[in-house]
Amino acid sequence: MTVTVERAAYALARGVDYFGGALFLGGLVFIALIWPAGAESRGGRRVVVTGWVLGLLGTVAAIGLEGVWVTERPVTDAFSLDLVNQVLDVRFGQVWFARALLWVLAGVVLADLLRRGRTAARSTAWRVGAGAVGLGLLRTNGLIGHALDAPEPVWAQVAGLVHLTGVVLWLGGLAMLLVGVLPRRNPDELGAVVPRYSRLAMVAVGLIVVGGLVLAWQVIGSVGAVLTSDHGRLLLVKLAIFALVLVTAQASKSWVSHRLDFALVLRGDATTVRPFVYSVAAETTLVVLVLIAASLLVTASPGR
């Protein structure tokens, strides 16, 4: 597998886009369903604002970087007008442009959340708007990947949507815990938020596994291709990291089951909460590595 500068730059843009989308969308779900007070917390706001900025920048960068990767022009030409026009003339470029517009709409959703705080997070109108924009952002991922080339593209795209939804819920929630909830060590918040997220994380893992298995089968098509194609080998790396994530997640789940009540009795004592913080931090880091592997997968040949 040859890794060129152009390919690496495009994969990086995809990775930034994935990471930003997970922080933003997962953070919004966390605020809306688990922790409405996070809309007025400095840490919670930091997560969703960072996600929005990274998502928009990653999407805009990917438009030009996809062009230089496909045409084998130098990276410095990424934002030349003639190249951008060429990209926007093809279907992939048009999907990227639509995705950029969705990020602009997401900025409106974010601005309303920052202005009205938990009132917006609890509002049906805001949730419907955020859900529509979020679904659009998730859906466009299926229109710029290998799912389109699968034998049954509809099933592949549905599986990709399910898989990515699980990743968003998991990573966005972890970031909100790590940056927003845990530093406050508020016992009332810990008692309410951590068990709810633990249940959501279990659902997210199920979505990741089911969606990922169907998508991998649709895209790769055979067991032999897993070992002989670039896509398959990268998938094995991704699975290995995911297995480590599950081990770390089990440590977090064990703390919630056996130590959370003790932490609440001690009113969020830092020493008692610290092992959970370390576990969540390790889990978040590993999930980010999974996203890096995913960003490389989009540039690898499935080898069908």
pLDDT band at 180 (very low <50, low <70, confident <90, very high): very high
What sign results for the dihedral spanned by CA atoms 215, 221, 223, 229? negative
Q: In whole angstroms, what is the distance from residue 4 CA to residue 69 CA?
A: 8
Degrees to nearest 5, angle at CA 106 with 160 and 291: 35
Q: In whole angstroms, what is the distance from residue 95 CA to residue 107 CA?
A: 19
What's residue 222's pLDDT?
Answer: 66
Average pLDDT, the chain: 88
Degrees to nearest 5, angle at CA 31 with 30 and 35: 95
Q: In whole angstroms, what is the distance from residue 11 CA to residue 230 CA?
A: 14
pLDDT in tens, 61-94: 999 998 888 888 888 888 888 898 888 998 888 9
What's residue 37's pLDDT?
Answer: 94
| Structure-token pair, residue 167 | 């990743």
| Structure-token pair, residue 114 | 């920052």
Q: What are the Cα distances from residue 237, in Å, to 101, 234, 298?
A: 33, 5, 14
| Structure-token pair, residue 50 | 């960072």
| Structure-token pair, residue 190 | 């810990």
pLDDT in tens, 257-280: 777 887 777 777 778 888 888 899
Q: In whole angstroms, what is the distance from residue 159 CA to residue 153 CA?
A: 10
What's residue 133's pLDDT?
Answer: 97
